Amino acid sequence: MNAGPRILVAEDDPALREGLRDLLEMEGFSCRLAADGAEAWAAFAEEAFPLVVLDVVMPGRDGLSLCREIRRAAPLTQILMLSARGESFDKALGLEFGADDYMAKPFDPAELRARVGAMARRAACAPAPEEAAFLMDDLRIDPAAFVAIREGRRIELTRRELALLRLLHRHEGRPVDRDALLDEGWGRDHLPNSRALDQYISALRAKVEREPQAPRIIRTARGLGYLYLRPRDGE
């Protein structure tokens, strides 16, 4: 009987996919297989896997974009990425997209078992997710309560408003492009146009900025999108 956690294995090579299942199930894990990125995302939407093994290059939807989506949806899920491409490039990019570990193919089965075992132990010990409050300029944002607070005044936030502020805060000092903002706020299936995004940002500024015409929280990055830049002392 399988004692380990469920693992989602996304790999487009049939022989390697089955080989990974055999290898992991011998270690006591239960696996669900996916042949491409779209199938893997559908499986993850049905079941919250504590551990995911992703091939970087898959048809339809690549492993890097899928890694980013899984990390957004489940911050505590452990993600191991596999790739036959250049190690330094993939490792840096994979970790930037939210992967916890990386292995280049071909890999040593014993090393893969060891790494997956360590990740499974981390997943078992992970605390329940509780997003901490964060600051943007003089505004304290409490995600759990969907509010922003300035000098004791509470500003109610919608899920979309919170998502956009969270994304800008997470990329502090770096412009966030329009596609990323649209994807975060509206999802891939129901994207408004850029003009609608600008109008939404304008309304959000009116809600959270002290001076919407001179924004300090949601700044414009001309030709790119928007950004949050923490004010320097004296500003």
pLDDT tens column, 49-69: 899 999 988 888 888 888 888
Strand order in the sheet with 225-227: 176-177, 225-227, 219-221
Q: Is the peptide bond before 129 cis (omega within 30 degrees of 0)?
A: no
Which of 44, 2, 1, 9 has its CA nearest to residue 116?
A: 9
Model confidence, pTM: 0.55
Q: Give kind and range of the element (H or E) at residue 22.
A: helix 14-26
The residues that bridge with 104 in the sheet, in sequence order, are 83
Q: In this structure, what are the phi and psi dihedrals at residue 156, rounded to the nearest 5 degrees?
A: -70, 140
Domains 6-125 and 134-227 are alike in CATH topology: no
pLDDT at 21 over 60: yes
pLDDT at 232 over 90: no
Model pLDDT for residues 101-143, shown as the tens digit of each residue: 888 888 899 999 998 988 888 887 665 556 788 999 999 999 8
Model pLDDT for residues 162-197, shown as the tens digit of each residue: 989 999 999 999 999 988 888 887 765 455 566 788
The CATH number corresponding to 134-227 among 3.20.20.450, 3.40.1160.10, 3.40.50.300, 1.10.10.10 equals 1.10.10.10
pLDDT at 201 over 90: yes
DSSP 186-232: H-SSS---HHHHHHHHHHHHHHH-SSTTS-SSSEEETTTEEE--PPP
The per-residue b/e assignment along 11-29, b for 16 or more CB within 10 angstroms, e otherwise, is: bbeeeebeebbebbeebeb
Distance of CA 58 to the CA centre of its chain: 18
Distance CA 151, CA 195 (A): 33
Model pLDDT for residues 83-98, shown as the tens digit of each residue: 876 555 556 667 777 7
Q: Give kind and range of the element (H or E) at residue 112.
A: helix 109-125
- pLDDT top residue among 124 and 216: 216
Residue 229 DSSP class? -
Residue with tokens 């996304």: 10
**Residue extents of the structural domains in the chain:** 6-125, 134-227
The CATH number corresponding to 6-125 among 3.40.50.920, 3.40.50.300, 3.40.50.2300, 3.20.20.70 equals 3.40.50.2300
Distance CA 68, CA 146 (A): 23
